[in-house]
Structure 1
Amino acid sequence: MRSIRAAAVGAVTMSLALAASACGGGSSSGGGSNDSPKTLTYWASNQGASIEVDKKVLQPELDKFEKQTGIKVKLEVVPWSDLLNRILTATTSGQGPDILNIGNTWSASLQATGALLPWNAENFGKIGGKDRFVDSALGSTGVQGQDPAAVPLYSMSYALYYNKKMFADAGITKPPATWDELVATGKKIAKGGKWGLGAEGSNLSNNIHQIFVLGKQHGADFFTADGKPDFTSDGAVAAVKQYVDLMAADKIIAPGNAEYAQNQSLSDFVKGKTSMVLWQTASATFKSMGMKDDEYGVAPAPVASGTPGTAQATNSMVAGINISVFKNTDNLDGAAKFVKFMTSDDEQKILNKAYGSIPPVKTAQTDPAFNSPTTSVLRDTLAKSASALPQVADESQFETAVGTAVKELFADAAAGRPVTTESVKAKLTKAQQQMPKK
């Protein structure tokens, strides 16, 4: 999911479960699902450098779909800061779109509302089958054991981006593969107004993504097998402390980063103020900020052993965007045709090239564009060493509660207050107490 500002949706989600029958399609006309109204409404997420960029990318493809099917698609590109709340409002008001993009970490939370079309075998059959999609992407489409609430559209993963000139100036010949190496590299650079690593302490979703990955490396999942929050395990506490200590103890993250919000760490990286960032599929953003492809390198995000893999060698969450259908749309057949179109090999290549992401459709990944030095790292990470965030109904609240705890700990570090195992556990205990009671 790209730079999402998660919202606390506990009370809202409760009401959605009661109001799910009210949700429906948007402006299409006509009767039941067997009819074929000539208009679909589509809420797209803001994937490019701006909403205008997205319109330029998407509109030619929507025109192509209309030419093929006779169905017009009314496009609205919704900023990430508004998207989740817009979706929640739509499910209660019944004034939603027919089709929409969702951050893949929201899949289980929105699935719990009952508002989205379940992608059972019959519905997957309409778009070419479930086996067309990469397993890791399917893992972020809803609760395991239930029919998915969404279909993968764009896949992304985290990687370590490093400034080649800053590395060369410091005599560093290769990117770090372990956390110890990353800290040592950062310390060589963190002097004279330069810093080793960028972070965004006020970006709750980015906090969660980093903590989730470190949690996996420490053997923590943040939720038990039956979906109950488990934020205070030794592994969870160690993960949060390790991340915040990059500022508090290791001094490779600038104290000012504690207040950074979306994309501010990327701006510093582009300007040569920091030498490394851990980010998801950043190439298109760097380009929009004026950085040339040959000015930075891409390597797998660090793991303790230096060899990424599954379980405790996980080095990325499964990031990405899913496409969903409101199940009460007036044009279920047209919506299925649109999802089939958007996930076709040709469209997957066009759209993922435009956004610098990776197609979750296996056969589309064979295009040379997804085998460059940059994209191959992302593709391999998704295939071999990425894990889906917890697919539980309370995931959105988890992002808010724990993301805020990390934000507060970064504020402590920036102010010179001690960050200890005890203080980390206290913040995580408070976060767990804020979660909905089962």
Structure 2
Amino acid sequence: MRRIRAAAAGAVTVSMLTAVTACGGGSSTDGGSNDSPKTLTYWASNQGASVEIDKKVLQPELDKFEKDTGIKVELEVVPWSDLLNRILTATTSGQGPDVLNIGNTWSASLQATGALLPWNAENFDKIGGKDRFVDSALGSTGATGQDPAAVPLYSMSYALYYNKQMFADAGIAKPPTTWDEFVADGKKLSKDGKWGTAFEGSNPAENIHHAVVFAKQHGGDFFTADGKPDFTNDGAVEGVKQFVDLMATDKIVAPGNAEYAQNQSVSDFATGKTGMLLWQSASANLVSQGMSEDDFGIAPVPVQSGTPGTGTNVNSMVMGINLSVFKNTDNLDGSTEFVKFLTSDAEQKILNKAYSSIPPVKTAQTDAAFNTQATSVLKDTLAKSAVAAPQVADESQFETAVGTAIKNLFADAAAGKPVTTDSVKAQLEKAQTQMPTK
């Protein structure tokens, strides 16, 4: 997901969700019908540095759609801190948008509600076919073996952004490729009120993105092959501890980051308070906050040793934004037409350029804007060394439970309390007890 990434609070059990499978979106058609819809409502996620920036990016495109089709799109840009809860409320109340953005990590969870339109072969054919989309993006659209609950819109991966001048001033010749190098460089940068890096310690969703990668690098997963929670295996515990230790032990993250929850780490990097940033497709965000593209470099996220690749050297989750349609929409034809518009080659180029993301549509990726040195890092990561979020029905509950456990561990680190293997395991064990029972 993501983008400005913030916590989606509140776990909702699958039993609650699946009890309302007939519920979903729907909006005014101004007297129109499925054959001739007049209005659509669209919930867009906050991708830029502010909601206002997103409106400036999106509204001209929505105006194009209205001019071409006669369908007016009523836009609401929803902050990440509210988006998941807004969607879950809509699935239970039936009062929601026609078309919406979802973080791709939520695909399987929201699919389990039964409220979203399944993208079967017939529906994909209406927007040009499933084979237009890259495999890594399609892998995060719903549970394996089921018709996707969403269509990819923006593809993203994590990368390491580094301040070139701060690196030069600290005598650092090149970006780190391993975590040992990352910590060593972070210590050189952590002086005179500045820090090596920053994290959104109070943001459960952001915590999860890093935790999954650290766990993978230690040979662990948070779910078993049959989808059961397994939060206290050695790899998961070691991975979470290494992540939190960047503040607790290595001290290259300011203690105040334990309270960061919405883009503050990006702002700290943009204003020269930190020398490194681990973030998703951040270039446009950084430029909008005053940096020049010449001020920062982009490199793959570090691994334990060696270079990024498959297996335990994964260095990002497959991140991104998907489009979904509430299946009880009054404007099914118009909603499908809108999805077709947003995933057209022309719109894919415009929107992904605006957000420094990668088009999940293959033919749009050939544009020169997506073949620069910067975007090559993101594309290579997605193609070679990224892993999909767990495609399980309880994924959103997992984000809340484990993400909050890590939030608590960051709070301990900020308060000077020891973060030990035992304390990490205890927090993860508590998180596992909060997961729905089958």
The CA distance in 1 between the partners of 2:33 and 2:295, in whole Å, is 54
Q: How does 1:243-322 map to 2 (within 5 A)?
A: 243-322=243-322
| Residue 83 (structure 1) aligned with residue 80 (structure 2) | no
The CA distance in 1 between the partners of 2:233 and 2:167, in whole Å, is 37
Aligned to 2:214: 214
Where 1:40 maps in the other structure, the secondary structure is: strand
The CA distance in 2 between the partners of 1:303 and 1:54, in whole Å, is 33
The CA distance in 2 between the partners of 1:331 and 1:202, in whole Å, is 38
> Is the contact between residue 116 and residue 327 of structure 1 (CA under 8 Å) also seen in structure 2?
yes
| Residue 400 (structure 1) aligned with residue 400 (structure 2) | yes
> Is the contact between residue 32 and residue 38 of structure 2 (CA under 8 Å) also seen in structure 1?
no
The CA distance in 2 between the partners of 1:367 and 1:64, in whole Å, is 21
Structure 1 runs (4+) deviating above 4 angstroms are: 29-33
The CA distance in 2 between the partners of 1:248 and 1:54, in whole Å, is 36
Which stretch has the larger CA shift, 407-416 or 293-302? Answer: 407-416
Aligned to 1:194: 194
The match for 2:10 among 8, 11, 14 is 8
Q: How does 1:23-42 map to 2 (within 5 A)?
A: 23-29=24-30, 33=34, 35-42=35-42
Which stretch has the larger CA shift, 403-412 or 150-159? Answer: 403-412
> Is the contact between residue 142 and residue 391 of structure 1 (CA under 8 Å) also seen in structure 2?
yes
The CA distance in 2 between the partners of 1:136 and 1:30, in whole Å, is 40
Aligned to 1:377: 377
Where 1:195 maps in the other structure, the secondary structure is: coil
Where 1:20 maps in the other structure, the secondary structure is: coil
The CA distance in 1 between the partners of 2:8 and 2:64, in whole Å, is 34
Aligned to 1:110: 110
Task: Show CA shifts across 1:189-237 (max 9, x none).
Answer: 2233222121221111111111111111111120112211110000000
Instruction: Letter of the 2:21 partner, please give it.
Output: A
Q: TM-score, normalised by structure 1?
A: 0.96
Which stretch has the larger CA shift, 386-395 or 87-96? Answer: 87-96
> Is the contact between residue 258 and residue 411 of structure 2 (CA under 8 Å) also seen in structure 1?
yes
> Is the contact between residue 10 and residue 85 of structure 2 (CA under 8 Å) also seen in structure 1?
no
Percent identical across equivalent pairs?
77
> Is the contact between residue 115 and residue 326 of structure 1 (CA under 8 Å) also seen in structure 2?
yes
Where 1:293 maps in the other structure, the secondary structure is: coil
Where 1:90 maps in the other structure, the secondary structure is: helix
Aligned to 1:388: 388
Task: Show CA shifts across 1:110-147 (max 9, x none).
Answer: 10000000001111111111111111111111111111
Aligned to 1:420: 420
Task: Show CA shifts across 1:45-95 (max 9, x none).
Answer: 121222222222112211211222222222222222222122122222222
Q: How does 1:102-251 map to 2 (within 5 A)?
A: 102-251=102-251
> Is the contact between residue 7 and residue 396 of structure 1 (CA under 8 Å) also seen in structure 2?
no
Which stretch has the larger CA shift, 237-246 or 301-310? Answer: 301-310
Task: Show CA shifts across 1:228-258 (max 9, x none).
Answer: 1110000000001111111222222222222
Q: Quote how far apart the aligned CAs of 1:29 are.
A: 5.0
The CA distance in 1 between the partners of 2:263 and 2:52, in whole Å, is 18
The CA distance in 1 between the partners of 2:164 and 2:27, in whole Å, is 49
> Is the contact between residue 4 and residue 103 of structure 1 (CA under 8 Å) also seen in structure 2?
no
Q: Quote how far apart the aligned CAs of 1:359 are.
A: 0.6
Where 1:146 maps in the other structure, the secondary structure is: coil
> Is the contact between residue 30 and residue 330 of structure 1 (CA under 8 Å) also seen in structure 2?
no
Which stretch has the larger CA shift, 227-236 or 279-288? Answer: 279-288
Q: How does 1:27-66 map to 2 (within 5 A)?
A: 27-29=28-30, 33=34, 35-66=35-66
Q: Quote how far apart the aligned CAs of 1:14 are.
A: 2.7
Aligned to 2:73: 73
Computed over aligned residues only, the root mean square deviation of the Cα atoms, in angstroms, reads 1.5
The CA distance in 2 between the partners of 1:16 and 1:188, in whole Å, is 49
| Structure-2 change in CA distance of 1:260 and 1:331 (3 Å) | closer
Provide structure 2 residue ranges, at least 5 long, that are not aligned to the other structure: none
Where 1:391 maps in the other structure, the secondary structure is: coil
The CA distance in 2 between the partners of 1:411 and 1:4, in whole Å, is 17
The CA distance in 1 between the partners of 2:56 and 2:182, in whole Å, is 39
The CA distance in 1 between the partners of 2:56 and 2:196, in whole Å, is 36
The CA distance in 1 between the partners of 2:268 and 2:37, in whole Å, is 48
Task: Show CA shifts across 1:368-413 (max 9, x none).
Answer: 1111222221111111111111011111111111111111111222
Task: Show CA shifts across 1:293-344 (max 9, x none).
Answer: 1111110000123311222111011111100011111222221111111001
> Is the contact between residue 115 and residue 327 of structure 1 (CA under 8 Å) also seen in structure 2?
yes
Q: How many residues matched?
A: 436
| Structure-2 change in CA distance of 1:211 and 1:22 (3 Å) | closer
Q: Quote how far apart the aligned CAs of 1:184 are.
A: 1.4
> Is the contact between residue 8 and residue 80 of structure 2 (CA under 8 Å) also seen in structure 1?
no
> Is the contact between residue 8 and residue 82 of structure 2 (CA under 8 Å) also seen in structure 1?
no
Provide structure 1 residue ranges, at least 5 long, that are not aligned to the other structure: none
Where 1:298 maps in the other structure, the secondary structure is: strand
